[in-house]
Structure 1
């Protein structure tokens, strides 16, 4: 109810009170005032309730503009219990009114890449979602269409020297990154190349070396960062570099090196760059003594020689 309507309602109440007959004296005035205030309070409650409902609707509408997903479990990505991949289930879920189901289904439909008939069906069903009002759904659809149509123009795709390509699905679905599974297309065949386990819950970055033979993979949880270098073609990978740097530097400085049972390191990396085709450099914030001591360092790791150098950074 608008404020003008509320005032009008109060005015009508006064007119009705004037027209009332048979009531006089103190009791009459009490009864008239009692009725007036009851109706006034009712109008105010209705006005307040209506405003609250409208505000709530607008709030949840804005909140739903891009569904927030902190972490996708294996069960979430199946929508329903399943023992093997079921494209039909995800095609059907595209017609759901649940944005999260739609988002999951769009990403999972990339997995039907190797089946020509299913791939064509998925492409047809996904086209309308590329213009969806929900940015996360639209971005997922554009990426899925790029893969299924074999265009391979997305910046999320890392193209390697051997002609293969790697990428993640559910790109940047969380504040912390993408799904922690790396997919590979080689010789026109899609396969799951590798997946990371806890605490590497998300893939944050994939940075190819200048010759595109190696890839630096940054993964993380909501507490820690991790870095590995992978030679995808030869199936070789480096040790995890953040914990390696933490142990090496801690030993150099005589610091206590506690390795947690959950393997969180509470350390972070930044400014990753390939200085040549074999050497990855980055800055790290390394935690010791249960984060009581934080050391800023620079790290250089040479993949072919398995050599690491860690130096303290003296920042102004």
Structure 2
């Protein structure tokens, strides 16, 4: 390969410079330029060109890194403040309050001391006397908190699952509608939030484990609607919401006008809820259509493993 072709293969060198280098070689006898000098000159040109390219690339990427890039904004990000840390001492002080609501809230929040041995013992000592409080709601909350923090796990509100973990809610039945819409889990002696529900699932009304304790049906509600989801806690799998799924499927089967509201209220309810076996869940539903102008009473059966839902209208006329 000729030297000119070699220089062009390297690239980034102006053709005029390559030709000039060739002319220098031809004229070496007249001007006294050696091959070594020409080679050194070309090497310098290559080095200069490469360095310039690197510097340009560096400046380009510096500019790119200065551009604003936001992947996702959380509520905490938009407050421009660090997230508030759990303050057990604040809740311990609140136990002395004359405000029963503050005391009740503090009792439930102190369950979150579970993972800190020192705080857990301190909270236990403060909570035990409150289990005999004259206010029944406070007494019940304290008894539950003591049961969790002492690791007795005898409360009927604690559900033991097949994988050895336990799930429960706090603020048990604080409202006529149910408990706080947060599901807690203890696994390997560590307490964590397992699942939080958003509106309109404002309350957890009921937890119903399957007979083999591998699945849990979670019934949530607002003051207008009810919802059901089935969870495989160990594998982290969740079914579709079953009441609305039944309403949509039955509406499509019967050509009923089925709108989904922007607030996701369904104005429908479930009752006679039960597990038929370890995989099949069944309930009777009152499904609302056309802003509750039409109510259809149905039986809903859901097979978790097959993700299969069947909706059948209940016979309104009973044979004598």
TM superposition score normalised by structure 1: 0.74
Count of paired positions: 236
Q: Is 1:169 equivalent to 2:159 in the alignment?
A: no
Cα deviation for residue 125 of structure 1 reads 0.1
Q: 1:1-316 residue pairs with structure 2 within 5 A?
A: 83-316=84-317
d(CA) in 2 for partners of 1:280 and 1:105?
A: 37
- The alignment partner of 1:174 has SS state of coil
Which structure exhibits the higher relative contact order, with contacts defined as CA atoms closer than 8 Å and separated by 6 or more residues?
A: 1
Q: Quote the residue 2:32 is aligned against.
A: none
Return the alpha-carbon distance in structure 2 between the equivalents of residues 130 and 112 of structure 1.
18
CA distance in 2: counterparts of 1:137 and 1:315, whole angstroms: 45
Q: Which runs of 5+ in 1 are unaligned?
A: 1-80
State how far apart, in whole Å, the 2-side matches of 1:263 and 1:273 are. Answer: 25
Deviation at 1:315, TM superposition (A): 3.3
Bigger Rg over Cα: 2
- 2:42 is aligned to none
Distance 1:120 1:126 in 2: 10
What are the ranges of 5 or more consecutive residues in structure 2 without an aligned counterpart?
Answer: 1-81
Q: Deviation at 1:84?
A: 1.2
In structure 1, what is the equivalent of residue 46 of structure 2?
Answer: none
**TM superposition shift of 1:118:** 0.2
**Whole-Å Cα distance in 1 between the matches of residues 224 and 160 of structure 2?**
30
For residues 244 and 253 of structure 1, the distance between their equivalents in structure 2, rounded to whole angstroms, comes to: 14
**TM-fit CA distance, 1:82:** 7.4
Question: TM-score w.r.t. structure 2 length?
Answer: 0.73
- In 2, the alpha carbon distance for the partners of 1:315 and 1:123 equals 54
3-state SS, counterpart of residue 115 of structure 2: coil
Question: Deviation above 6 Å: which 4+ runs of structure 1?
Answer: none
Distance 1:315 1:166 in 2: 38
Distance 2:133 2:120 in 1: 21
Match of 1:38 in 2: none
Following the alignment from structure 1 to structure 2, what is the Cα–Cα distance between the partners of residues 101 and 82? 22
* Counterparts of 2:159 and 2:292, CA distance in 1: 35
RMSD across aligned C-alpha pairs, in angstroms?
Answer: 1.0
Distance 2:242 2:269 in 1: 11
Q: Distance in 2 between matches of 1:315 and 1:224?
A: 23
Give the distance between the partners of 2:189 and 2:228, measured in 1 at CA.
29
Q: Secondary structure of 1:113's partner?
A: helix
**How big is the shift at 1:268?**
0.3
Partner Cα separation in structure 1 for residue 174 and residue 85 of structure 2:
23
Using the alignment, how far apart are the partners of 1:159 and 1:251 within structure 2?
A: 39
